Chain A
Amino acid sequence: MSTITAEDRAAMTESVRRLLANQNTEADVRRTMETPQGYDDALWAKLVELGVTGLTIPTDYDGLGGGPVELERIMEEAGAALLSAPLFSGAMAAALIEASGDTAAMQRLLPGIAGGRTATVAFTGDAGTWTEDGVGVSAHAHGNHWALDGVASYVQHGANADLIIVVAKTHDGFALFEVSQGAEGLTAEVLPTFDHTQRLAKLSFAHVDATKLGTAGWEAVERMRDVALVGLAGEQAGGARRVLEFTTQYAKQRIQFGRAIGSFQAIKHMAADLLMESESAISAARAAAAALAENAADKDAAVALAAFACADAFSKVTADAVQMHGGIAFTWAHPAHLYLRRARADAQLFGAASMYRERYLKALGA
């Protein structure tokens, strides 16, 4: 449960927005997306300083004590600015460590993440379904020790994150494991991504020594995934809103046939439809965050709704925005395609929209 007041939340959102406006400009995004690491160390240090790396970590473990609501809000800003830092993957790792119920692990790991230790979660294999049957790593006990074998893929910042929480199959169900980057037997292969601001890796495990976290299984993964979906929904909603902003701005300025193109109903109607999309995305993302924070009865429905509605909205807004700009948006130098690429990637992360539509119906009892 969040211990952050609404005022503090607004202030924090504002400071993150300002930080990103200054240090994660389009030029910064283009510069860092060409680097292997994919994000800027100086910006990361600032995020640590602001405390957002510990946003959702309980105050007992040096975090800010926020929850899904805060995460969603900050992710709106991250999405709007196309942030590529391992902030989100760290929040996911923290959520999974918490969900493990292993207090010793929380004590050992969470303060580090809050302090800027980079972390991620590896929970799907080559199939990239993010479902139970998609897990590609298995764990075997040798006395007190556990060893991991197999493959985890589409791991965010997986080649770089210092701490990796791995979901693996054991002889009796799923379990969570802690592995450090560089562990013996672990190889990280960087995956070339269409969204150049995204960093994904394929991790191969060959008898990698791992520490087991608590006794939690797939239910912990689901709890973490709900948090992840809310964060992702925020990113999508924030991205969609920003794209619509600059597209509307352009439609007011660009003159053809002696008038602003926004005066043509074709463009005006597209813009109006996109406002419907992006505002619905914001509503869905925030409602899901609130439902999750309150552990509301309808939280499964709310999260599933946000998962597909925000994915669809971001995809549509970015795709139509290119069309509304005309030729200029077909150039690499224009930002529209950066968002389009992000939207295409986000629409795949943690499972396709169709899966969440199905879950939505299930949650509604259909």
Chain B
Amino acid sequence: MTLIPPPKAMSDDELRSEVRAWLKDNWKGLPVSQDQWTSSPERRAWMEKVVDARWAVNRWPVEWFGRGLSDPQAKIVEEEFRAARALGAGLDKSQLYAITALAFGTDVMKNHVLKGILTGNVNMCLLYSEPGAGSDLAGVRTRAVRDGDDFVVNGQKVWTSGAMTADYGMLIARTDWDVPKHNGISFFFLPMKQKGVEVRPLRQVTDESHFNEVFFTDARVPAEFLLGGLNNGWRVLQTALAYERSVMGDGARGPRRGDDKASTDMIALAREAGKLNDPLVRQDLAKVLSYRKLNALNNARAKADLATGTSSPIMSLGKLAMSRILHEEARLRTTLLGAGSMLEGDAHPRADDANFLALNAYFTSIGGGTDQIQRNIIGERVLGLPKEPEVDRTIPFKDVRAG
């Protein structure tokens, strides 16, 4: 398969029937995959088709796998995909790595990685956090130094989800130590499969090992894989983080054991536990269910606002809301199970789900920027409250206190 030529402009109805017909001819469903870090061969093959048929990133320009569609027309395509339960449309709204690459990458880099990212042939990870720089990402100390056509990278990242399988990592590294911290950072797509990159898995509280330490020893990244220009990494990062957080506000991993109704539907779970008639449980259930519903309503309204060109302040609430949803749902699951929640393992899938979800809720309340940082952002950038003084904002980075 190869990329189809840019199609001519279509009316809404023409577009709808075209995508419908295409799905009818091509979409045959996909086997369920458990692996969240890499996509299955079947899925990759399907995504090749979607990308080549230009359905993956409809709003994008025709030079880059798109159709240059307006938002309403792109939504028609996405609706049809959803109706057919087909995957792959709307990546121009959700594929963080592709969006960042398109917005800030050089043509050389885009030619190299963009299609692979969209099809799932190229796996990615986020090389932001370091032992000394988590909430304070502008404090990164991993260094990148220009050497001919490359940059040479030395330092360490931590909590890097998916680093084991990644082909590239979105890296922030310090390229100037003599200017204040935000002004000396650059943003790269670093090739992960090279000698200078060592990935060491960390065991998580969930007893999984998805996140890792990553060590760079003279790792090389082509200068063409610098995004947004030298020392302009903070701005690129802000855009990438905003997308990441909005994705995290839309959803999170669900139960890892159960795959029946009561594993995802809290009402069914309460019924199964024989507690659906308990007035205390009912109050609790209503409250917890409402958190998810209200967040969905908020997100829908934010998206509608965005479509009319106004950015909505509620956009920033999603991730914080999702954190509460996940923690509270896990708490309620635990209440419903009672003593049974003390157990784990294959023979106790409900308990395992409740316990896993109670722990994994921290993925959302810590990962991608903690709840506390989200609250600061909402207070300062959305509500316009005075900023917390930042003691090291204006001094050269080499004089900044580390710990």
Contact = CB atoms under 8 A, between A and B. Distances in A.
Interface of A: 124, 127-129, 153-154, 191-195, 198, 200, 253-261, 264, 266-267, 319, 322-323, 326-327, 329-334, 337, 340, 344-345, 347-349, 352, 354
Contacts of A352: 335, 338
A257 B392 contact: yes
Nearest to B371: A323
B197 interface: no
Given A194-B351, A258-B391, A330 B335 contact: no
Contacts of A194: 341-344, 351, 355
Nearest to B376: A266
A91 B181 CA distance: 59
B171 to A, nearest CB: 18
Chain B contact patch, size range: 35 or more
Nearest to B365: A323
A329 B211 CA distance: 13
Contacts of B135: 256-257, 261, 326
B257 to A, nearest CB: 13
Contacts of B341: 194, 344, 348
Consensus secondary structure, chain B interface = mixed
Contacts of A266: 372, 375-376
A242 to B, nearest CB: 18
Contact of A344 (B158, B358, B366, B402): B358
B181 to A, nearest CB: 9
B362 A330 contact: yes
B342 A332 contact: no
A129 B340 CA distance: 10
Contact of A128 (B339, B359, B363): B339
Contacts of A254: 403
A332 B134 contact: no
Contacts of B211: 330
A327 B205 contact: no
A192 B344 contact: yes
Given A193-B342, A193-B344, A344-B341, A327 B134 contact: yes
Contacts of A257: 135-136, 139, 390-392
Nearest to A325: B366
B347 interface: yes
B4 interface: no
A327 B211 CA distance: 10
A151 to B, nearest CB: 13
Given A191-B343, A193-B343, A330-B204, 20 more contacts: A128-B339, A194-B351, A198-B342, A200-B342, A253-B403, A255-B403, A257-B390, A260-B403, A266-B376, A267-B372, A322-B366, A323-B372, A326-B366, A327-B159, A330-B211, A331-B204, A332-B205, A345-B342, A348-B338, A352-B335
